[in-house]
Amino acid sequence: MTSFEEALERVLAHSLPVAEERVGLSAALGRVLLEAVSTDIPMPPFTRSAVDGYALPGEGNEFELTGEITASPGTPPALTPGHAAPIMTGAQLPSGSDRIVMLEYTDTHEGRLLVERHVRPGENICYRGEDMEAGTEVLPFGTLLTPSALGVAAMAGRTDLRVAGKPKSVLLTTGSEVVEPDRVPGPGEIRNSNGVLGVSALAAAGFGEAETGHCRDSPQAIRDAATTALSRADILLMAGGVSMGTHDFVPMVIEEMGFRFLFHEVAQKPGKPFCFAVRDGKVFFGLPGNPVSVLVTIEEYVIPFLRKSSGFARFRKARLLGRLAHDLRKKPGRTGFFRGNAVESNGTFTLSVPDTHGSGDLVGASKADCIVLLPALSPGAARGETVQFSYLCGFGGEAAWS
């Protein structure tokens, strides 16, 4: 049986080449930038007011008021000695002015301005190019495009960007006993939770383009569904049918389709039947059918694979440290993944792991925000002991990755 660590390395070693595409700014959120972006103009592009106040021509305590200068196109009239102009935040500074006094330190009377405190030259002014000159690199190659980064790209005059593409994925659930959620299950039937669970876990990690489908437990049905999925996707995930049962046909069919398996079982709990195979630029993830096993294997293997294949520099789960709020039992031999909750106080994490009913207990897993990891040789951990944990996707942001 393959160890968790070895299985993960084999998966990551077969990540797909990073594809490139050019997309508009509105479609670039969450992508990795594959070019450097430089500003074509200085920032700010003109000298402007940093506050709402009055533009002054120099020293003095009393000035005659002129027309207001607003944040609008065009060049404002020059300011002559002895005059002051009301000015809005962001408005262009008129020539002849060298300082701005804030509204709070002024009074007006019969068209004249009274300045109640000394104002230094340059005070409350943002000068043209003081943030950066034209040609300055503002977004380096490899930047993760956040809303702020996209705002910077727009300020630099860009309307589209060259970014890393995202591999296409299809998740197929399996099982003749599985019915859709809108049906009341009959004897021996269960509702399909793995489909929405799987694609939602991918979407929470920024891979919301995955398709989903279902097939019954027959070799031909599995082959037909897998063939169709692979015709339009690079990555095939199948949940269920990968264990040792008499109707677990998935590995046999995938092998007959020309895939080479890199492992069939992993020494972990939950998710022991997890398997992985490759074929000519296509990859296959065989996920165990229990819902919590689906969640754990997607979190620990599939999403790191997708991040690496999408150009992310940080694609491994960040293993943080926290102290257990209670004892945690485990048999040595397999890496243990426990659904938990992390509470931070003064820089220290406290971890609680609620009682669950095995790898089918999705209700218990739905309350978790992290996965507590105990190594394969560990016999468990006592209350107060420091252990590793990682955030589930949807929690922790980019800090959840290393």
- Kindly report, residue by residue over 167-186, the tens digit of the pLDDT: 999 999 999 999 999 999 99
In angstroms, the Cα distances linking 221 to 172, 214, 321, 367 are 11, 10, 45, 35
What pLDDT, on the 0 to 100 scale, is given for residue 209? 85
What pLDDT, on the 0 to 100 scale, is given for residue 339? 94
What pLDDT, on the 0 to 100 scale, is given for residue 359? 53
What pLDDT, on the 0 to 100 scale, is given for residue 358? 60
pLDDT class of 220 with cuts at 50, 70, 90? very high
Specify the residue for token string 């929405």. Answer: 196
Torsion sign (Cα): 113, 119, 121, 123? negative
- pLDDT tens for 18-76 read 999 999 999 999 999 999 999 999 999 999 999 999 999 999 999 999 999 999 999 99
Domains of the chain: 2-19+167-309 (3.40.980.10), 22-40+131-164 (3.90.105.10), 48-126 (2.170.190.11), 320-400 (2.40.340.10)
Specify the residue for token string 């945690």. Answer: 328
What pLDDT, on the 0 to 100 scale, is given for residue 363? 83
Q: 137-141: which pairs have CB atoms within 8 A and are 24 or more residues apart?
A: 137/36, 137/37, 137/38, 138/37, 138/38, 138/39, 139/33, 139/36, 139/37, 140/33, 140/36, 141/33, 141/34, 141/35, 141/36
pLDDT at 83 over 90: yes
Find the DSSP H helices in 144-213. Answer: 147-155, 194-204
- Mean pLDDT estimate for the chain: 95
Q: How far is residue 218's CA from residue 246's CA, in Å, rounded to a whole number?
A: 11
pLDDT at 245 over 90: no
Angle CA 385–391–392, to nearest 5: 130
What pLDDT, on the 0 to 100 scale, is given for residue 366? 86
pLDDT at 287 over 80: yes
3-state class of 301 per DSSP?
Answer: helix
- pLDDT tens for 101-126 read 999 999 999 999 999 999 999 999 99
What pLDDT, on the 0 to 100 scale, is given for residue 357? 55
Q: How far is residue 103's CA from residue 87's CA, in Å, rounded to a whole number?
A: 10
- pLDDT tens for 324-371 read 999 999 999 999 999 999 999 999 999 999 876 565 578 878 889 999
Enter the pTM of the model. 0.88
What pLDDT, on the 0 to 100 scale, is given for residue 360? 54
- Among residues 111, 114, 84, 112, the alpha carbon closest in space to that of 97 is found at 84
